[in-house]
């Protein structure tokens, strides 16, 4: 099972299905991190099938829905917990503390009674944190939110983004700076704690208890590996079955730093995926392309079989394979149409579905045509065509620098 499928099943079984009450509709409330995690492993219709009728941002003001229960998927941080307290907590009355003197017990009782009559944002809350919530934030939640509204409060150990079947992201761009930059040494300990916790949640989701190995030439690797081991021991104590099974007993976690390979950041890979990420206008696997003069947004991910086949190939090889696939599909379709009764209707329907054609007025580009245009664009930007040979050769690409450039990549022959 791939990482994305594993995370998707965990979200459905432990969050969406666990507290499903018949046919009642519910609201899904998310923060900045959780939408990226959910969209990476689930589609909107899969969430809707579990009774979720609305998806709302916790940081945006919305009208109260007193008749619906809310499912919160949040990161255990102040930016997410404070809006949650606002949705269900009691507002502090401006007369409860005046000039340092406590008001009388009778007046205090009247104010508390009035505060309890305030209607909440939702009927009840099922709160799921992506990782363990700190004690300080937990105390604030139990202090300000009444128990009758808290139907569920637990952590699900998914503090990472499953980008591909075997690739994940910690979604922490400042981690590299905190690890190496001496000007941010004060933030290094907190950054290591955060990244170690996220890696530990990945191991907990996979159900593995790996042996931690590290590159000893860097002292920070030793410190980071020790923090990871401490986090793993805590998760192992909470779930003794973590790491059980013959296929999980030999798992290894390698901690290496950028110093092990200082050349790769200066080089440019010539594989289709690497060049597409660097050269094509894209964000979160959504590419902007032109069709008949109109700009279109196309999602390219592992659901596209052509992308899975081509992404790790050299750009020139990928271009040749796309052309071969096109010709193969066309020839197979011609043979099927002239075969008469020799081909079954089901085989013909399958072939037509795989046929890379574009109908007039279609809103979306077919993946094969998209990849073909992407290959041509990447090759025109970074590869030089050899006049003597039809093959593309690897040469030094023209290097253009801008004043705002932060990364320089060089293609070597």
Q: How far, in Å, CA of 400 to CA of 405, rounded? A: 10
Burial 73-87 (b: 16+ CB within 10 A, else e): bbbbbeebbebbbeb
Confidence bin at 126 (pLDDT 50/70/90): very high
pLDDT in tens, 53-106: 999 999 988 888 888 999 999 999 999 999 999 888 654 333 333 334 344 445
Give the pLDDT confidence score for residue 169 in this predicted structure: 92
pLDDT in tens, 228-244: 999 999 999 988 988 88
- 210 CB neighbour count, 10 Å cutoff: 19
Give the pLDDT confidence score for residue 411 in this predicted structure: 42
| Strand 384-385 to 294-299 pairing | unpaired
Tell me the percentage of the chain whose pLDDT exceeds 70.
70
Give the pLDDT confidence score for residue 158 in this predicted structure: 94
Give the pLDDT confidence score for residue 118 in this predicted structure: 55
Q: For residue 323, give the H/E element and its range.
A: helix 315-338
Question: Which two tokens mark 181?
Answer: 């930059």
Give the pLDDT confidence score for residue 407 in this predicted structure: 42
Q: Which residue has the higher pLDDT, 193 or 390?
A: 193
- 66 CB neighbour count, 10 Å cutoff: 9
Question: Which two tokens mark 354?
Answer: 């795989």
pLDDT in tens, 168-211: 999 898 988 998 888 999 999 999 999 999 999 999 999 999 99
Q: What is the mean pLDDT of residues 251-256?
A: 92
Least Cα distance to 195 among 128, 249, 255, 155 occurs for 255
Least Cα distance to 271 among 322, 311, 301 occurs for 311
Q: Which fold has domain 266-332+358-393?
A: Syntaxin Binding Protein 1; Chain A, domain 2 (3.90.830)
- Coil, strand, or helix at residue 198? helix
| Strand 52-57 to 26-30 pairing | parallel
Least Cα distance to 270 among 317, 338, 213, 322 occurs for 317
Give the pLDDT confidence score for residue 338 in this predicted structure: 66
Question: Which two tokens mark 314?
Answer: 């050299």
Q: What is the mean pLDDT of residues 247-256?
A: 83
H helices present in 181-218, as ranges = 188-206
Q: What is the DSSP letter of 388?
A: S
Do 260 and 218 contact (CB within 8 A), yes or no? no
Asked if the model's pLDDT at residue 386 lies above 80, the reply is: no
Residue whose structure tokens are 């502090």? 92
Asked if the model's pLDDT at residue 50 lies above 50, the reply is: yes
Give the pLDDT confidence score for residue 396 in this predicted structure: 35
Q: How far, in Å, CA of 181 to CA of 191, rounded? A: 12
Architecture per CATH, 3-159: 3-Layer(aba) Sandwich (3.40)
Do 410 and 266 contact (CB within 8 A), yes or no? yes
Following DSSP, what letter does each residue of 4-65 receive, concatenated?
HHHHHHHHIIIIITTT--TT--EEEEE-SSHHHHHHHH--HHHHHTTTEEEEEETTS----E
Give the pLDDT confidence score for residue 365 in this predicted structure: 47
Tell me the percentage of the chain whose pLDDT exceeds 90.
29
Domain spans, the chain:
3-159, 172-260, 266-332+358-393
Q: How far, in Å, CA of 134 to CA of 279, rounded? A: 41
Asked if the model's pLDDT at residue 384 lies above 50, the reply is: no
Least confident of 110-124, 198-212, 349-363, 386-400: 386-400
* Residue-averaged pLDDT of the chain: 76
Do 394 and 412 contact (CB within 8 A), yes or no? yes
Domain 3-159 and domain 266-332+358-393, same fold? Reply is no
Least confident of 300-304, 377-381, 391-395: 391-395
Tell whether the torsion through CA atoms of 181, 187, 188 and 194 is positive or negative.
Answer: negative
Strand blocks (E) in 41-159:
52-57, 65-74, 97-98, 101-102, 122-129, 150-155
CA atoms within 13 A on the CB side of 141: 26
Q: Would you tell me which CATH number, out of the four given (1.20.210.10, 3.20.20.150, 3.40.50.1910, 1.10.10.10), belongs to the domain 172-260?
A: 3.40.50.1910
Q: What is the DSSP letter of 386?
A: P
| Strand 286-291 to 294-299 pairing | antiparallel
- 122 CB neighbour count, 10 Å cutoff: 23
Q: Which residue has the higher pLDDT, 121 or 115?
A: 121
Give the pLDDT confidence score for residue 395 in this predicted structure: 38
Which range has highest mean pLDDT (164-168, 305-309, 394-398)?
A: 164-168
Give the pLDDT confidence score for residue 90 in this predicted structure: 53
pLDDT in tens, 322-381: 888 778 777 776 776 665 555 565 665 665 555 444 333 334 445 556 666 667 666 665
Asked if the model's pLDDT at residue 8 lies above 70, the reply is: yes
């Amino acid at each position: 099972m791939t990482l994305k499928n594993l995370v998707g099943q965990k979200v459905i079984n432990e969050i969406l299905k666990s507290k499903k009450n018949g046919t009642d509709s519910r609201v899904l409330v998310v923060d900045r991190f959780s939408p990226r995690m959910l969209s990476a492993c689930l589609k909107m219709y899969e969430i809707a099938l579990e009774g979720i009728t609305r998806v709302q941002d916790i940081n945006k003001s919305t009208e109260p829905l007193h008749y619906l229960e809310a499912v919160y998927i949040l990161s255990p941080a102040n930016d997410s917990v404070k809006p949650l307290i606002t949705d269900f907590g009691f507002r502090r009355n401006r007369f409860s503390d005046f000039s340092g003197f406590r008001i009388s017990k009778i007046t205090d009782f009247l104010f508390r009674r009035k505060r309890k009559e305030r209607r909440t944002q939702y009927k009840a809350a099922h709160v799921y944190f992506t990782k363990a919530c700190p004690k300080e934030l937990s105390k604030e939640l139990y202090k300000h939110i009444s128990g009758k509204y808290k139907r569920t409060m637990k952590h699900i150990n998914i503090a990472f983004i499953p980008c591909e079947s075997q690739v994940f992201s910690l979604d922490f761009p400042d981690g590299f700076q905190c690890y190496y930059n001496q000007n941010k040494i004060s933030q290094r300990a907190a950054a290591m704690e955060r990244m170690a916790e996220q890696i530990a949640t990945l191991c907990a989701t996979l159900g593995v208890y790996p042996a931690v190995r590290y590159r000893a030439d860097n002292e920070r690797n030793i410190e980071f590996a020790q923090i990871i081991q401490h986090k793993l021991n805590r998760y192992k104590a909470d779930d003794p079955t973590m790491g059980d099974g013959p296929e999980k007993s030999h798992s290894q976690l390698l901690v290496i730093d950028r110093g092990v390979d200082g050349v790769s950041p200066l080089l440019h890979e010539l594989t289709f995926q690497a060049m597409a990420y660097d050269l094509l206008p894209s964000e979160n696997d959504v590419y902007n392309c032109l069709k008949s003069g109109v700009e279109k947004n196309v999602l390219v991910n592992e659901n596209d079989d052509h992308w899975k086949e081509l992404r790790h190939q050299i750009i020139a090889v990928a271009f040749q394979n796309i052309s071969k696939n096109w010709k193969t599909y066309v020839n197979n379709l011609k043979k099927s149409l002239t075969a008469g009764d020799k081909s079954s209707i089901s085989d013909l329907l399958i072939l037509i579905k795989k046929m890379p054609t574009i109908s007039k007025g279609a809103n979306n580009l077919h993946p094969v045509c998209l990849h073909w245009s992407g290959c041509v664009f990447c090759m025109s930007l970074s590869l030089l065509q050899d006049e003597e040979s039809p093959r593309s050769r690897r040469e030094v690409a023209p290097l253009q620098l801008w004043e705002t450039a932060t990364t320089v990549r060089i293609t070597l022959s």
